[in-house]
Chains A and B, each alone.
Chain A
């Protein structure tokens, strides 16, 4: 168990709909990252938050948005869903431990758009 919790694990929804994916980072981790992984593809970086503020943005569509709340959990909102949005969405969190850094992943949310 990495300590990063993602819900739901699986999600099936129709085109045009909107969904929210949730991520609870490990206790004490300030950074949260979102990644999209389509079948047989690498990890596409979407967005990073650090202590509530957006820190970096990757290839995130305008239909997608995210935020990190004061308790440090994060949500990724996907709207106007298309078939091509079907993918595994990962959340990761990281921290500095003394002079070391470590990053762990949640189990992912498998989104299927039908």
Chain B
């Protein structure tokens, strides 16, 4: 079974600075998909960024980018130029095609003015 671990329950960053959220996972599979979801106080689950395991190039979506290290089974999220609206719970998730979507425990990020 796949597992996802987020070792940082809480993090904080100053507005306009950069922050990195960590995620590690465990799997014996070779082809899979990784995601970061954001859950703001409204509790809506919002897809932030995704990465296909077969791609070596790290995914980027505007201020959000990932550092995907397949051999190390690491998938960290970097948020640049942090904004107050980035304050949210962030979940890392693993998907094996046709199988369950497995989530980490989440990291509560607070952006301070």
The total of chain B residues at the interface (CB under 8 A) is 24
A44-60 Cβ-contact flags toward B at 8 Å (1 or 0)? 01001010000110100
Determine if B109 is an interface residue (Cβ-Cβ < 8 Å). Answer: no
A102-B47, A105-B45 as given contacts; A31 in contact with B98, CB under 8 Å: yes
Comparing B67-75, B78-86, B89-97, the segment that makes contact with chain A is B89-97
Determine if B105 is an interface residue (Cβ-Cβ < 8 Å). Answer: yes
* B47 / chain A contacts, CB cutoff of 8 Å: 2, 102-105
The answer to whether B43 and A99 touch across the interface, beta carbons within 8 angstroms, is no
CB of B92, distance to nearest CB on chain A (Å): 11
Determine if A88 is an interface residue (Cβ-Cβ < 8 Å). Answer: yes
CB of A3, distance to nearest CB on chain B (Å): 11
Determine if B99 is an interface residue (Cβ-Cβ < 8 Å). Answer: yes
Near A by CB (< 8 A), chain B positions 33-52 give: 33, 35, 37, 43-47, 50, 52
The answer to whether B44 and A107 touch across the interface, beta carbons within 8 angstroms, is yes
Q: Can you pick out 23 interface pairs between chain A and chain B where the beta carbons lie within 8 Å of each other?
A: A35-B103, A37-B43, A42-B104, A42-B105, A42-B106, A43-B91, A43-B106, A45-B103, A48-B99, A48-B100, A56-B100, A92-B101, A96-B97, A99-B52, A99-B54, A101-B52, A102-B33, A103-B47, A103-B93, A104-B47, A105-B37, A105-B45, A108-B43
Given A45-B100, A102-B47, A104-B47, output 18 extra A-B contacts at Cβ < 8 Å: A2-B47, A33-B101, A42-B104, A42-B106, A43-B91, A55-B100, A56-B99, A90-B45, A92-B101, A96-B97, A101-B33, A101-B52, A101-B97, A105-B44, A105-B46, A107-B44, A108-B43, A108-B44
